[in-house]
Amino acid sequence: MSNLTGFLRLVAALHLSATPASAEVDTSLFSQDALVTPPEMVDCTLTTGEAAQCAKFVVKYLPDNLEIGPFCPTTLDETGGIWDWDGENPGVYRLNRAFFEMLNGLGYTFYDEAGNIYITDPGGGTPPAQDNTCLMATADEAVEMTMLIPTTPVVADAPTDLGTVAKVGIALDGVPIFADAPSVLETGHMPALDTCGGHIDPGGWYHWHGTSTDMQTVFGASGLDAECGLAQSASAQFGYAFDGFPMFGSAEVDGAVPTDLDTCNGHTGPTAAHPEGEYHYHATAEFPNLPPCLTGVQAEDNFSTTAAMGLGSVNGGGGAGPGHGGPGPAGRRMPPGFDKVAETLGVTAEELMRALDDAGGRNADLAKAAAALGVTEEALRAVLLPPPN
């Protein structure tokens, strides 16, 4: 962390401590279409070990009446959803012929000679047959998710950075929110998103990877010809983060663009519910339009599912699971020489990849990864930097 970043975060924490206490989570704002049972207040434990009250939400695999997709196109002549490409020529793209042919020119081939897109169901139990496939999971109507949100936010000693597929919060439509999906550069595979920024987890449930109610701001800023079918409002509340602070679109309640955001894209200012001011997060005009970190303390065990696999399941844990770039049935394209690197460290390639994923993925904390592997950080750096040939 740079000295400037540390200073800005300190200022944000001091500013928060001087503002009026935020109101409790308003469960009446949530759509009934998603709820299995009405929200209830329960005892919970924060990650600091402190006892607290949490709003407990049990939601369906998909809210009633929420139309999702398209995700992966079947052929190059069709248009699917979107993808945030972070390689050469980065940006948000529609999944169409132009995009896939661009990727082919960069060495990522997602289609055969006839123009058929390689598609894999990451929850199907069969690894992809190709190095590059478009991932599209199947919904499971029986799956339920349980989430815990502290009713009264508590500012943490330091913000929590949100790495790949980190837990962000819950939208007012009841759909869980997760951070950026894994990069094709890391996995070789593309877990396609629909034009509202969501897709189905390998466990069979739908979730957001962006602020779905403000996608048109993203498309307008990037010049992309796309449209999210949900009602769009840059100033509306999108949901609550897992620390209990509310999340809004990219504009203030009066339509103005905020200019005093901290490093987590948050600030204290007036909202419709609190014209006197409360701390809240804002979306951005760039995808993924979500906070890069959370300012408050979260509850322990704040997300779980009844699914047999995927994020939040007994088998999937809380990190990047199968189909989200982690080892598992969806497969993983290991970088050249990766098995040799793992062998040098005395671990398997799968153990090494999982440790790097759990430590932050593309921005992995190598000290954390080394500790998980039982090796020194120096040893890990020696074999990873520079990359093996």
Residue 344 CB neighbour total at 10 angstroms = 14
Nearest to 93 by CA among 232, 217, 233, 218: 218
- Sequential pLDDT tens for the chain (389 residues): 344 334 334 434 444 443 434 558 999 999 999 999 999 999 999 999 999 999 999 999 999 999 999 999 999 999 999 999 999 999 999 999 999 999 999 999 999 999 999 999 998 888 889 999 999 999 999 999 999 999 999 999 999 999 889 999 999 999 999 999 999 999 999 999 999 999 999 999 999 999 999 999 999 999 999 999 999 999 999 999 999 999 999 999 999 999 899 999 999 999 999 999 999 999 999 999 999 999 999 999 999 999 988 888 876 654 444 456 443 333 444 444 566 778 888 888 778 877 887 776 655 778 888 898 999 988 888 877 544 33
Would you say 334 and 328 are in contact if contact means Cβ atoms under 8 Å apart?
no
Amino acid 143: pLDDT? 96
CA distances, 10 to each of 4, 16, 144, 281 (Å): 10, 10, 39, 17
Instruction: Determine the pLDDT at residue 315.
Output: 65
Q: What is the pLDDT of residue 363?
A: 58
Q: What is the DSSP string of 106-126?
A: TT---B-TT-BBPEE-TTSS-
Instruction: Supply the pTM of this predicted model.
Output: 0.80
Q: What is the pLDDT of residue 365?
A: 79
Residue 79, amino acid: T
What pLDDT score does 316 carry?
60
User: Residue 378: what pLDDT?
Assistant: 86
**pLDDT at site 377:** 87
C-alpha closest to that of 123 among 286, 328, 381, 354: 328
